[in-house]
């Protein structure tokens, strides 16, 4: 599983390079799995590298690579960042 963050609106600009990527192996994932009354989710704490300033908007996406090599990607979404 990879969580990917981009500066700006990656849904509009597909050429953006990732600001940061967090990778979790299949053996790591059970540690982050949570079950609630509405289903299952993963609870990750992601530390953003602040070596360069954050813009007013970032985009976040996720990609899961199956053991066979195929991958499934979640739609990238953009969120506003407050200083």
Q: Tens place of pLDDT for every residue, the chain, 83 residues?
A: 999 999 988 877 677 899 999 999 989 999 999 999 999 999 999 988 888 888 889 999 999 999 899 999 999 999 998 76
The DSSP code sequence of 65-82 is E-TTS-EEEPPPEEEE--
- Cα–Cα distance, 48 to 50 (Å, whole number): 6
- Cα–Cα distance, 78 to 11 (Å, whole number): 7
What is the reported pLDDT for 9? Answer: 86
The answer to whether residues 42 and 29 touch, using CB atoms and an 8 Å cutoff, is yes
Give domain limits for the chain.
2-80
Token reading at 53: 């300033």
């Amino acid at each position: 599983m990879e969580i990917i963050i981009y500066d700006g609106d990656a849904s509009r600009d597909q050429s953006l390079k990732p600001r940061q990527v967090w990778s979790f192996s299949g053996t790591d994932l059970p540690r982050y799995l949570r079950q609630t009354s509405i289903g299952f989710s993963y609870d990750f704490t992601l530390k953003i590298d602040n070596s360069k300033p954050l813009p007013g908007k970032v985009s976040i996406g996720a990609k899961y690579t199956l053991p066979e090599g195929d991958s499934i990607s979640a739609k990238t979404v953009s969120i506003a960042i407050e200083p």
